[in-house]
Amino acid sequence: MDTSASDVPASPFLEGTNIQFAWDSTSIGYLKTCPKLYYLVMIEGWSPKDDSVHLRYGAEYHSAIEDYDKAKAAGANHADAMRHAVHQLMIRTFDWDVDTDTKAGRYKNRRTLIQLVIDYFDFFANDTATTHILENGRAAVELSFKFELDWGPSHSKAYDSQNDISQPYLLCGHLDRVVSFNNDLYVLDHKTTTTTPSSYFFDGFNPHNQMTLYTLATQVVYRAPVKGVIVEAAQIKLVEPNFFTRGVTYRTQDQLDEWLSDLRYWLAQAEAFATADHWPMNDSSCDKFGGCMFRGICSKSPQVREKWLAGDFIKREIEDRWNPLKPR
Ligand code: SF4
């Protein structure tokens, strides 16, 4: 696998086609869950109207922790790093106005965000997991990855045969942090939830597309022999104090190899759907993960779905759509 992957184009699709060559865990997850879901989000660009609240909240939470971790890695003490991160967060969100009458806005707004971040820093003040320092001396916080697989869409080979070039598949993503914990290395991934993170919550991360890709990517791109992922869950509470807990999900080399070998078949399927211009509904997935966001659309007759989509969702411009090649 080539980890350089430079000079990549801005679109994750082969030019003039719906064949995706740059993938991340989100788009692979859509494909594996339901080809129609993948089509509606990745090809058509539909997203829920309140998506921006969840995205902004998650992004600001990650940025605040990143600021703290970087300050700590640079030598600041806990109090100074915390002051710096909260200060930056308050500046960035100064004019972030959320409708707190909606369910999303009730849990995810500026006030709950700042409280969550402060509680996080208090809870992990004496954290025994320490930020890993990479071979180049950089603290392993908010790392992007992008690496080539040793195969690509068959269409790209036929298309570019005269030029003797073909586009390999790329795997892309972002890691929150790599940490040393009990003398082993792990990816650390932050999750926020409004429900109680029980053992059932953590069991859901193995098997798990995102966690397997993160383990693989850290080994390939950053040459860090990570054992798996520490999933760090923050439960947002409206009345009681926010709650934090961690669970570890391990991956063996054989599991990573198996995931990659399976991926070859999934990506071939995606190419076949795009070539046929048909993305079938996997109606066994509609009730999974709390219910698919498009259930209210797919339950309608095909002729009227577009009208319902336009009423309940936003069709994003191409540059605003989910794109694995976009830097965070
Ligand atoms: S509602 Fe069901 S068929 Fe429609 S996109 Fe979601 S999972 Fe697929």
pLDDT tens, 73-86?
899 999 999 999 99
**Ligand 1 centroid, distance to 39 Cα (angstroms):** 10
Q: Coil, strand, or helix at residue 50? A: coil
Answer for the pair 104, 54: CB distance below 8 angstroms, yes or no. yes
Q: Coil, strand, or helix at residue 143? A: strand
Residue closest via CA to ligand 1's atom 1 equals 295
Which atom of ligand 1 is found nearest the CA of 40?
Answer: 5
Answer for the pair 222, 212: CB distance below 8 angstroms, yes or no. no
**Ligand 1 centroid, distance to 197 Cα (angstroms):** 26
Per-residue pLDDT reduced to its tens digit, 56-67? 999 999 999 999
**Ligand 1 centroid, distance to 29 Cα (angstroms):** 13
**Ligand 1 centroid, distance to 99 Cα (angstroms):** 28
What are residue 18's phi and psi, to 5 degrees? -105, 25
Query: Cα separations (Å) of 208 from 38, 92, 254?
Result: 17, 33, 15
Of the chain, the percentage scoring pLDDT greater than 70 comes to 95
With CA atoms as reference, report the closest residue to 42 among 284, 249, 316.
Answer: 316
Per-residue pLDDT reduced to its tens digit, 136-152? 888 899 899 999 999 99
pLDDT exceeds 60 at position 163? no
Looking up tokens 């940490």 gives: 179
Q: Using a 6 Å CB cutoff, which residues line ligand 1?
A: 34, 36-37, 40, 281-283, 285-286, 292, 294-295, 298
DSSP 89-117: HHHHTTT----TTSHHHHHSSHHHHHHHH
Q: Is 244 exposed, middle or buried (0-12, 13-18, 19+ CB in 10 A)?
A: middle
Answer for the pair 268, 262: CB distance below 8 angstroms, yes or no. no
DSSP 178-231: EEEETTEEEEEEEEEESS---HHHHHTTSS-HHHHHHHHHHHHHS-----EEEE
Q: Coil, strand, or helix at residue 26? A: helix
List Cβ neighbours of 72 (8 Å cut-off, separation of 6 or more): 78, 81, 131
- In this prediction the pTM is 0.92
Answer for the pair 267, 23: CB distance below 8 angstroms, yes or no. yes
Looking up tokens 């972002």 gives: 174
* Structure token digits, residue 53: 């609240």
Per-residue pLDDT at 225: 93
Per-residue pLDDT at 158: 63
Per-residue pLDDT at 327: 78
User: Per residue in 203-231, is it b (16+ CB within 10 Å) or e — as a string?
Assistant: eebbebbbbbbbbbbbbbbbebebbbbbb
Per-residue pLDDT reduced to its tens digit, 15-50? 999 999 999 999 999 999 999 999 999 999 999 887
Per-residue pLDDT at 239: 85
- Reported as a pLDDT band with limits 50, 70 and 90, residue 161 is low
Which atom of ligand 1 is found nearest the CA of 288?
Answer: 7
Look up residue 246 and give its DSSP letter.
E
**Ligand 1 centroid, distance to 292 Cα (angstroms):** 6
